[in-house]
Structure 1
Amino acid sequence: MQLSIQNPISTYLIYVCTFCAVEIGTLLSCGCLSLLVRYMLVPNVSWQTTLNFNFDTICHSGVQPVNNMCSFPSTEFDLTIGGSPVFTYGHPYSIVSDFYIPDSPKNNLAGMNILTLELLDEGGNCSRKFRRSFSVPYRSTLVRFTSRLLLLLLHVTRVVDEELHILVELASGYQDYQAPPIVRGRVTMESRELIWTRASIRLDAHLTGLRSWLYYWPWFTFFVLTSSSFIFVNILYLLMVISQTFWPLLSLNSDEPAPRTVRRRPLVSCPPSESLGEPVESINPHNIPPDTQTDLMEPN
């Protein structure tokens, strides 16, 4: 009696443990699938580096130095993250350069300036070139004096520097379709009149649709993708169980042949056989003489 009670309980526990293991494995697989989808769809969204310009200080061929510069300041930088290119293939990017220049009369008289960006591949060849002109925002003497007077305490304590922020947009929707990937960049300031304190360049990806949801709301999209895929897989499990449990029974019922009606034939008395020692005669149920029988069969 105890064995008969323990067997159903152990079988039930085995079923419950198997079900829980399958569900936990399915949930973990759906979570890994959601992470893989985010990794494949979301590109390198933001990247920034500092620009350290170099220039010649020794002038040749009678070139006069301007601000101690005999050539246009230029710098090169890497466009890789961990050995892989920053640009995601076929995805649009905006390229922006930031300059912080002192708010001085000399910079206000610098006039127009040109900033050049060259994108280089692994062989050092220029794949794309961007040139943008910009100038220092005009500020009158009265405006500069008023702003300095209002921010005098912050300027003295060095909380706020006396400088202007200039933003130069080099590209608004650049897409990298180059077969050799772009791994380096070169920035050249085609001016010797402008003086700046620091400069940087950054890349920002344009995210739309599902990519923006995956990047800006990662936990929400992770929950939605994981739960939806988990429900879908459980529906497949349910359909599989139904097909394995009920479909064979339905197929067996449909394959059974229909009952056949058997029509019984009337029993006919067999003549005595020769095994009994009697000669076999023709069947003559009415005992008609042979001569009469032949006469009846002849035509008139």
Structure 2
Amino acid sequence: MGLINFIINILDPFGVIRANFFKPLREFTFSMYDHYRNKTKDKVVTVRDLILRFGIVSFAVAIIIWSAVFMYVAFYYLYIPTIAHTRPVHMQFKTCLNAAGICSFPQAHVSLTKKQQLLMVGQAYKILVNIDMPESPQNQDLGMFMVCADMRDNKALLRGHSCRSAMLRYRSPLLRAISTWVLSPLLIFGFYEELQHIPVELFSNYEEEQMHPVTDVYVEIQSQKIQFYSVTLHITADFTGLRYIMFHWPVLSAALGISTNLFFILIVFILSWYHWSDTTWLKEAREKYTKKLLEETKSKMDISLSSFDDDILEDDDEYSLMAEKSKTDIEDINSESRTDLGVATA
């Protein structure tokens, strides 16, 4: 604990992060724990409920952990490319008709891929040609020679060209004699051979292009006197930054990555659980929806009642007009009858 406190004091000497972030987070966590503990104590009555809740919690924890692990593994395999690709280089040359030997430079065509892109875009690669050369007098007298390579895409377009010099490592006659005497039992029984591995780095920082992926490599050794056992092409990813850490420290990076995923998944899960377990917002939404529905229904009823009142008023107006007309007709008839009666009396 003393070391942890010392590291925390170095990272946060004034306590700003602890006061503004860790302390509120700790208080929120403890309050949530107390809230759900009390809530669980109030609701858990029987053993069946307890077992059911334990099963649900265990299932949720398993899903969260496996989700964090799956996210890290998927990210690892998508972010980290294959570290090395090795292809054999089968050298070909023209032999001399009049004398034994090589009459052309040894060269070879190496097919990297045919269907899919082999190298990752944006990742730097080192491309080497390894030559296994015997320590023969001819190779010792050869001196320096050139090794060239052409990188071409699926349309045979040149994407990179490089030539590098190489030579057999020098060893004095005394050193060769001593090593031969010391290693003679291994040499006799075939456990050791007098050869040297000569690595020739052709590209130290080669990056693949998205639109022109490399599919073929043409290798040439510019020497007619060279002797070799085998030649191989090695393409190695040169990791930097996060890829370097994830590849060279897989346990540490996995622990940090899974812990980070677990932290964010738990935050999302806790917030979602708190949101859905608190049903107050559901009641408020239901009441709001019911109130809105009642208001719409009331407005529709008011509109229908107003139209109905207008119809009644129009009917009342027609009825009053008819009543006045009928009253006028009755008065006319009464006046005529009085006139006729006066004439008859006279």
Question: Which residue among 219, 228, 233 is the counterpart of 2:265?
Answer: 233
Instruction: Measure, in 1, the Cα distance between the counterparts of 2:239 and 2:166.
Output: 27
Please tell me whether residue 25 in structure 1 is matched to residue 57 in structure 2: no
Structure 1 residue 162 displacement after superposition: 1.4
Structure 1 residue 219 displacement after superposition: 4.0
Question: Which residue among 105, 122, 144 is the counterpart of 1:72?
Answer: 105
Question: Which residue among 235, 239, 251 is the counterpart of 1:203?
Answer: 235
Give the alignment of 1:103-252 within 5 angstroms. 103-244=135-276, 248=280
What SS is found at the alignment partner of 1:85? coil
What SS is found at the alignment partner of 1:84? coil
Deviates more, 1:230-239 or 1:100-109: 230-239
Aligned length: 241
Structure 1 residue 217 displacement after superposition: 3.3
Higher relative contact order (CA 8 A, sep 6+): 1
Amino acid of the residue matched to residue 228 of structure 1?
T
Instruction: Measure, in 2, the Cα distance between the counterparts of 1:208 and 1:112.
Output: 33
Instruction: Measure, in 2, the Cα distance between the counterparts of 1:7 and 1:102.
Output: 84
Question: Does the C-alpha gap of structure 1 residues 110 and 243 become closer, same or farther in structure 2, counting only changes over 3 Å?
Answer: same
Structure 2: gaps spanning 5 or more residues: 1-42, 285-346
Instruction: Measure, in 2, the Cα distance between the counterparts of 1:72 and 1:160.
Output: 29
Structure 1: gaps spanning 5 or more residues: 253-300
Deviates more, 1:235-244 or 1:7-16: 7-16
Please tell me whether residue 35 in structure 1 is matched to residue 35 in structure 2: no
Instruction: Measure, in 1, the Cα distance between the counterparts of 2:168 and 2:260.
Output: 53
> Can you list the C-alpha shifts for 1:146-200, whole angstroms capped at 9, x where unaligned?
3222322222222211122222111111111251211111111111111011221
Percent identity between matched residues is 22
Check the 8 A contact 2:139/2:226 in 1, yes or no.
yes
Amino acid of the residue matched to residue 120 of structure 1?
R
What SS is found at the alignment partner of 2:270? helix
Please tell me whether residue 98 in structure 1 is matched to residue 130 in structure 2: yes
Instruction: Measure, in 2, the Cα distance between the counterparts of 1:113 and 1:6.
Output: 83
Instruction: Measure, in 2, the Cα distance between the counterparts of 1:153 and 1:32.
Output: 53
RMSD: 2.8
What SS is found at the alignment partner of 2:142? coil
TM-score normalised by L of structure 2: 0.62
Check the 8 A contact 1:79/1:85 in 2, yes or no.
no
> Can you list the C-alpha shifts for 1:242-265, whole angstroms capped at 9, x where unaligned?
34456948x98xxxxxxxxxxxxx
What SS is found at the alignment partner of 2:133? strand
Question: Does the C-alpha gap of structure 1 residues 235 and 150 become closer, same or farther in structure 2, counting only changes over 3 Å?
Answer: same
What SS is found at the alignment partner of 2:149? strand
Q: Which of the two has greater helix per residue?
A: 2
What SS is found at the alignment partner of 2:76? helix
Check the 8 A contact 1:55/1:72 in 2, yes or no.
yes
Q: Which of the two has greater strand per residue?
A: 1
Structure 1 residue 7 displacement after superposition: 7.5
Give the alignment of 1:52-63 within 5 angstroms. 52-57=90-95
Instruction: Measure, in 1, the Cα distance between the counterparts of 2:130 and 2:89.
Output: 10
> Can you list the C-alpha shifts for 1:102-128, whole angstroms capped at 9, x where unaligned?
112211111321101111211222211
TM-score normalised by L of structure 1: 0.71
What SS is found at the alignment partner of 1:172? strand
Structure 1 residue 202 displacement after superposition: 0.9
What SS is found at the alignment partner of 1:86? coil
Amino acid of the residue matched to residue 161 of structure 1?
E
